[in-house]
Structure 1
Amino acid sequence: MRALAADPGVGPIASARDLVKTYGKGEAVVRALDGVSVDLEAGELTAIMGPSGSGKSTLMHCMAGLDSPTAGSVVVAGEEVSSMSERRLTRLRRDRLGFVFQAFNLIPTLTAEENITLPLDIARRRLDRDWFDTVVDAVGLRDRLDHRPGELSGGQQQRVACARALISRPAVVFADEPTGNLDSRSSAEVLGFLRGSVDELGQAIVMVTHDPTAASYAHRVLFLADGRLVGELEDPTSESVLDALRELSPAHAQPARPGRHADDVVQGAVAR
C-alpha cells in the first residue's frame, strides 16, 4: 500500500504521521483518527473514501489546519501545521491552502471575477493577471466573469469556487464533497477541471467523497474505516472502487441501485 511517498527522495507537498484525533473523555471517548500516516504529492489528485464516521473528513480537516490533532504531526509545504499558533494557521490557510466545499460559499453581491480574486483582495496581494487568465480559461468561465452567483448554474458556481481555490497558487487544495450538490453533468465538469488542474498545472488536490464516480477521477483512492487507513487503490475506475469496497467488507457490501447515493452502498462497508 503506497500511502507514503512512492519516491522517498522526493518530499511530499503534505504529510501526516501517526495522526490521532479523539473527542470526549473517559468511557465516552471517540477515536476519530487512530494512527494515520499518509503523504500527498504535487501533481496528484487523491480521493479519500469510507463510510460515515470513518474519519475521512477529520483527516482532511487536520491536514488543512481546520482542526488540531490529539497526537501525531502534519507538515504542509515544509511547515509543521500541527504545532502552529492560530495566527500562523490563519496565514497558512490564506496563503498556501485552497478550499472547495459542497456549499459553494460564494458572496452573492460579488461578480464571478470578484469572487475568484477575493482571497488575494483579503490578503492584499497583487493579482497575477496571466495566472488569472490561465485559471479562468481552465474552468471555462470567460463569458461569465461579470455574472453574480444567482445568475450562474450550480456547476458554474462550483467552478468559480474551484478557480477561487487556485488563484493564490496554493500548495494543496482540499475539496470536501465538491460535487455533492451537483447533477451528473455539472459534476463531470467540476471533476474534469480538478483533474485537469492536477495534470496540467501541477496542483495537489485531496478530495473527500462518497461517490465512486468522483473517485474515479483521482490518481489514487485511500480507504478509511474506524479512523484507520485500511486500503488504497491506484488508477481507479468507478467499478474498481466499488469492488475494493466490497473486498474490504464482503459481508456488508451491496450492489448499487440506480439513483442510490454512494453512501448507502458503502455504509458500514469498510469495516475493520
Structure 2
Amino acid sequence: MAVAARATGLSKVYGQGDTRVTALDAVSVEFRRAEFTAIMGPSGSGKSTLMHCMAGLDTISSGSTRIGDTELGSLNDKSLTRLRRDKIGFVFQAFNLLPTLTALENITLPMDIAGRKPDPAWLDMVVSTVGLSGRLSHRPSQLSGGQQQRVAVARALTAKPEIIFADEPTGNLDSRSGAELLGFLRESVQALQQTIVMVTHDPVAASYADRVVFLADGRIVDEMREPTADAVLDRMKAFDAKGRTS
C-alpha cells in the first residue's frame, strides 16, 4: 500500500545542557494509506510528540517527516499552514467546536475558511458514517459529548485529508460514547479508505486499529498487527515491568 506519512531518523530535543531532554530519538516509521494505526507507550514515551512532529504542529531537531511526497522541512510557514489545512485532519481530546455554530457549520468550517465547497455526496457519506444525519441543525450545547466528538471527526473527514491524526480522542468520553467513536473511526477506514493515526493509552481503543506501534523512551520498541485488547495490555505490562527493573 502507498504511504500516507513517513518519519525518517526523526529526533526531537527540548532544552540544552542540564535541561536537555530527548523526546524522540531517531524514530523511523511509516503510516500506510487506508490503515488505522494506534501509537502507545508509557507516559513520557514521546507519543504525542511524534504525532505533533509528523503533523507539522511542532518542529523537529533532526531527520525528516513527510506527508505523502511532501517533505515538511522544505516548507515555509505559509505552505505548511496550507498543507495542514488541505492534507491533514485533526481530532483532539477537546472537541474544539464553536458554540454559536450548528453541527453542520462546525463540520464545514475549515473548508469555508479555505474558500472551498465540500463535495455534497462525500459530506452526506461522512455524516451518515458518523451517525449525525438527524443532528446537523443542533448546536454543540444540544449535543452529548459523544455527538460533539462525532462532529469533530466529521469535520476532520469532510475535507478528504490524506491522513487524520487523533490525540486521545476518547479521553473525554464515557465508555459507551468512546466505543461508538472508535467504531466510527474504524468504519471511516473501511468504508471511506481514510488513514488514521491515533495516540492512546487505552488497550481497548488500540484494539480497533489495524496495527499498534509501541514507543518507550523516545524510540519505537515494538509493533503489533491485528491487536486485541488483552494482547496490547500484556505488552504494556511487559514494558512497565522492564521499566521497574531497569
What aligned pairs does 1:65-104 form with structure 2 within 5 A after superposition? 65-104=56-95
The DSSP-based 3-state class of the residue aligned with 1:169 is coil
Instruction: Map Cα deviations across residues 112-167 of structure 1 (whole Å, 9 max, x no partner).
Output: 00000011101000221111100000011111000000000000000000000001
Instruction: Map Cα deviations across residues 82-135 of structure 1 (whole Å, 9 max, x no partner).
Output: 232111110011100000000000000000000000111010002211111000
The DSSP-based 3-state class of the residue aligned with 1:229 is strand
Looking at structure 1, the residues matched to 46 and 73 of structure 2 have their Cα atoms a distance apart, in angstroms, of: 17
Structure 2 unaligned spans of 5+: none
Structure 1 unaligned spans of 5+: 1-9, 253-267
The DSSP-based 3-state class of the residue aligned with 1:197 is helix
Looking at structure 2, the residues matched to 172 and 82 of structure 1 have their Cα atoms a distance apart, in angstroms, of: 18
Aligned partner (choices 231, 242, 250) of residue 241 of structure 2: 250
The letter for the 2-side match of 1:146 is: S
1:186 and 2:186 are equivalent in the alignment: no
Whether the aligned pair in 1 keeps the contact of 2:88 and 2:161 (CA below 8 Å) is: yes
Deviation, 1:77, is 1.6
1:48 and 2:50 are equivalent in the alignment: no
1:33 and 2:36 are equivalent in the alignment: no
Aligned partner (choices 105, 116, 120) of residue 114 of structure 1: 105
Looking at structure 1, the residues matched to 67 and 242 of structure 2 have their Cα atoms a distance apart, in angstroms, of: 38
Deviation, 1:249, is 4.3
Aligned partner (choices 117, 120, 123) of residue 126 of structure 1: 117
Query: Greater shift after overlay, 122-131 or 169-178?
Result: 122-131
Looking at structure 1, the residues matched to 21 and 75 of structure 2 have their Cα atoms a distance apart, in angstroms, of: 24
CA RMSD in angstroms, aligned pairs only: 1.3
Instruction: Map Cα deviations across residues 180-208 of structure 1 (whole Å, 9 max, x no partner).
Output: 00001100110000011011111100000
Q: Which residue number corresponds to residue 15 of structure 1?
A: 6
Deviation, 1:79, is 0.4
Looking at structure 1, the residues matched to 168 and 229 of structure 2 have their Cα atoms a distance apart, in angstroms, of: 16
Going from structure 1 to structure 2, the CA distance change for 1:249 and 1:127 (only over 3 Å counts) comes to closer
The letter for the 2-side match of 1:231 is: D
Aligned partner (choices 128, 131, 135) of residue 144 of structure 1: 135
The DSSP-based 3-state class of the residue aligned with 1:231 is strand
Whether the aligned pair in 1 keeps the contact of 2:14 and 2:21 (CA below 8 Å) is: yes
The DSSP-based 3-state class of the residue aligned with 1:144 is coil
Instruction: Map Cα deviations across residues 215-264 of structure 1 (whole Å, 9 max, x no partner).
Output: 00000111111100011111111100011122334355xxxxxxxxxxxx
Paired residues, number: 246
Looking at structure 1, the residues matched to 2 and 76 of structure 2 have their Cα atoms a distance apart, in angstroms, of: 24
Instruction: Map Cα deviations across residues 66-88 of structure 1 (whole Å, 9 max, x no partner).
Output: 00110000010210012321111
Looking at structure 2, the residues matched to 126 and 214 of structure 1 have their Cα atoms a distance apart, in angstroms, of: 33
Looking at structure 1, the residues matched to 18 and 106 of structure 2 have their Cα atoms a distance apart, in angstroms, of: 46
Aligned partner (choices 223, 236, 240) of residue 227 of structure 2: 236
Going from structure 1 to structure 2, the CA distance change for 1:143 and 1:204 (only over 3 Å counts) comes to same
Looking at structure 1, the residues matched to 118 and 12 of structure 2 have their Cα atoms a distance apart, in angstroms, of: 38
If the length of structure 2 is used for normalisation, what is the TM-score? 0.97
The letter for the 2-side match of 1:38 is: V
Looking at structure 2, the residues matched to 251 and 204 of structure 1 have their Cα atoms a distance apart, in angstroms, of: 32
The DSSP-based 3-state class of the residue aligned with 1:207 is strand
Aligned partner (choices 27, 35, 55) of residue 64 of structure 1: 55
| Matched-pair identity in % | 62
Q: Which residue number corresponds to residue 159 of structure 1?
A: 150
Going from structure 1 to structure 2, the CA distance change for 1:136 and 1:11 (only over 3 Å counts) comes to closer
